[in-house]
Amino acid sequence: MIVLIKDHADPIQLENLISWLKGMGLDVHKSVGQTQTLLGLIGDTSTVDMDVIRSLDIVENVQRVQEPYKNANRKFHRDDTVVSCGGALIGGGHFLMIAGPCSVESEEQIIGVARRVKAAGAHLLRGGAFKPRTSPYAFQGLKAEGVRLLLEAKKEVGIPIITEIMDINHLPLFEDVDVIQVGARNMQNFELLRELGQIRKPILLKRGLANTIQEWLMSAEYIMAGGNSQVILCERGIRTFETATRNTLDISAVPVLRKLTHLPVVVDPSHATGHSYLVKSMALAGAVSGADGLMIEVHNDPPHALSDGAQSLTPDQFDDVAQAVRNVLPFACRGSEAL
């Protein structure tokens, strides 16, 4: 961490600051120039509150040069983390395909989709029971009944399941759920993250729609600091000025994360783009960029003409995408190669 001292700073205040920093166990190196003084802080600065230092009268600026996260940091944990999702592995060379409908709608639907995506090679069934919706008037999911139907599908089809949690009070409903998803809007719901650090179940943490990679890793750190090291990161597009796609899929986040962290990374091309015609190309892009998995929306055959062309892929389209992904996986950027 670098502290830039203001011109004409009071020398006594400066000495006070240096003593205080040393008291935190840091080495402090002072560089005095004609017009500027810098302090270089060496040591474990992950618990130093930059804002407090920046607020001091004699400080012009503070810059962090070391990552403020530890548990999630590849520097302190060189090997890829491998997470078991109800038996299906992700990370360290294991590729995980997650597929299923946006919302669980009925037993028939979820079991039908489960059979098809499992046959196509998916390892984990997704399905929303609690749905975060911008409008209070939009369908909010089947809630507890949705979770129950997912568990039916799990038993019936023999595929582990993932579904989203929106409130820690619902946790008892998730006992037999294999992976718990934290949605983009809750990426900085710190109370929820902290509680999920207390359990021993994999958490798939979606990136917030306008959160930096560093903030995302800090949210993973919240979970890991509680002792739950089974965190999977999911890139699902960020908010930009572009309106041709729902969000802008930040594919470069995949190799950046591979460098910064040992946690597995999943790409969700469906939510990122918002258009089914973009899913295949973005699934392939995610796979070759070195992602450890994909999360793709697949909807059962639509029952009537009206929902003929759902935004989700049909099971047939998913068959095609899953095969295309398997074709490119041997050529994907992976491991030290990307570094």
Is 338 an interacting residue with respect to a second copy (CB under 8 A)? yes
Residues 134-173 that bind a second copy (CB under 8 A): 134-139, 166-169
* Strand-pair partners of 125: 99, 161
Give the 3-state secondary structure percentages of the chain, helix then strand then coil, rounded to 5. 40, 20, 40
Which range touches a second copy (CB under 8 A), out of 79-87, 114-122, 148-156, 218-226?
A: 218-226
Of 89, 171, 199, 278, the one binding a second copy by CB under 8 A: 278
Is 198 an interacting residue with respect to a second copy (CB under 8 A)? no
Is 47 an interacting residue with respect to a second copy (CB under 8 A)? yes
Residues 281-300 that bind a second copy (CB under 8 A): 281-282, 284-290
Which range touches a second copy (CB under 8 A), out of 78-86, 110-118, 173-181, 272-280?
A: 272-280
| Cα distance between residue 114 and residue 154, in whole Å | 8
- Label each residue of 108-168 as H, E or C: HHHHHHHHHHHHCCCCEEECECCCCCCCCCCCCCCCHHHHHHHHHHHHHHHCCEEEEECCH
Radius of gyration (Cα) for the chain, nearest Å? 23
Q: Which residue, 7 or 79, is less far from a second copy as judged by CB?
A: 7
Minimum CB separation of residue 226 from a second copy in Å reads 8
Is 78 an interacting residue with respect to a second copy (CB under 8 A)? no
Alpha-carbon separation of residue 56 from 47, 67, 126, 334 (angstroms): 18, 22, 49, 44
Q: Which residue, 155 or 185, is less far from a second copy as judged by CB?
A: 185
Is 23 an interacting residue with respect to a second copy (CB under 8 A)? no
Cβ atoms of 161 and 86 closer than 8 Å? yes
Q: Which residue, 37 or 86, is less far from a second copy as judged by CB?
A: 37
Q: Choose among 255, 202, 265: nearest CA to 233.
A: 265
Q: Which residue, 250 or 319, is less far from a second copy as judged by CB?
A: 250
Q: Which residue, 156 or 337, is less far from a second copy as judged by CB?
A: 337
CB neighbours of 43 closer than 8 A, spacing ≥ 6?
Answer: 25, 26, 27
Which range touches a second copy (CB under 8 A), out of 40-48, 84-92, 104-112, 114-122?
A: 40-48
